[in-house]
Structure formats: structure tokens, C-alpha cells
Amino acid sequence: MANPVYHFEIPVTDMDRAIAFYEAVLGLKLNRETVDGYEMAFFPRADGRPGASGALAKGDVYVPSKTGTIVYFDVADIDPVLERALARGSKILYPKKHIGAGGYVAEIEDSEGNRLALNALAD
């Protein structure tokens, strides 16, 4: 079996604001689409590579929260990502911490009020 997670969806209330936040903070380009009547913005996906990808999702069934599932984004270096997040009004919910062989982790609040985690194998 490959990695068990295939796709995730992060709830948003303001798609333009959320796209601007994620593109600026993570340095990614999201692809906006409508799926089953829901507004979505898809993160890049590298087929044949390990890991999952997903989308921002807006609609009546999507409610931002800091208490649900936490999605970890793999980044090369947490510090500049935290700086960009803070510059966009984010709050640090869990400061950068070394976790041994797993590298470093931190958690922030996104533009929509979701808890978002960052992971970097190197400092």
C-alpha cells in the first residue's frame, strides 16, 4: 500500500483571501475550479511522488476550525514560512520545535481560522 492519505480539503470562508494567504506563505500556485457546485483551489500535485495533495474548499459543508484534523505542509525551512505567515496576520499556535529525526514542526492559524502545521526535515 502507498501512503493512505490521497487528498485533503481545507475549509475556507473567503476564497480570494485564502488563496492569497496560501500562495504567499507557501510559495505555491493554486488552481481554482468549481467541483460539484463548490468553489475550490487545488494545491499542486506531483503524480508518482510520495505524499498527498488537496484543495481549499468553500461551501455550506466547509467550516474552518482549529479543533479538527491538522494538515502538515512540508517546507524546506520553517523560519521564512513563519515570517511570511506573520506578515499576513497569522498567529503562531505552536512555536517551532525540534522533534528529532522528524526535523522541525510549527503550527499557525491560516487566514480562515484553521490550524495549519509545518514540517521541515532540516533547519
Per-residue model confidence as pLDDT tens digits over 69-81: 999 999 999 999 9
Residue 46: per-residue pLDDT: 84
What does the domain layout of the chain look like in residue ranges?
Answer: 7-120
Compute the mean pLDDT over every residue in the chain, rounded to the nearest whole number.
94
CATH superfamily, domain at 7-120: 2,3-Dihydroxybiphenyl 1,2-Dioxygenase, domain 1 (3.10.180.10)
Give tens-digit pLDDT for 87-122: 999 999 999 999 999 999 999 999 999 999 999 997
> What local confidence, expressed as pLDDT, does residue 41 receive?
98
Please report the DSSP string for the chain in residue order.
---S--EEEEE-S-HHHHHHHHHHHH----EEEEETTEEEEEPP--TTSSS-EEEEEESTT----SSS--EEEE-S-HHHHHHHHHHTT--EEEEEEE-GGG-EEEEEE-TTS-EEEEEES--
